[in-house]
Amino acid sequence: MFKTDKSHTHNKKNVGISVKTKTKIDELYRSVITRPKIILRNLSDSGFKEPKYTLLGNYLNSLRSRIHGNNKTQSLSTLDGITKTWHATFS
């Protein structure tokens, strides 16, 4: 690790998707445009900076979780409950 007493500045890089772009993606997703390539095309046509495909995919996954909840966990617990009920009924 280096330590310096001299004054210096750190250049901050813009990382991730901007708030304006996220708002537009949310708007498109809620209007039933859910495919990443179509969202990227709409962003480009609307004059927004296109995020990388992987960033968009990650954001869409988090958006789906926020909107629909974590369905993987719910569906497994629901399936477990259904199988227990089935076994209790037909055994």
Instruction: Show me where the domains of the chain are located.
Output: 19-90
Structure letter (DSSP) for residue 6: S
Question: Quick one: CA dihedral 75, 81, 83, 85, positive or negative?
Answer: negative
Residue tagged 């958006």 (tokens): 63
Question: pLDDT digit string (tens) for 36-82?
Answer: 999 999 999 999 999 999 999 999 999 988 887 765 555 666 667 77
Residue 31 · residue 46 · CB < 8 Å: no
Confidence of residue 15 (pLDDT cuts 50, 70, 90): confident
Specify the pTM.
0.64
The tokens describing 73, both together, are: 């966990």
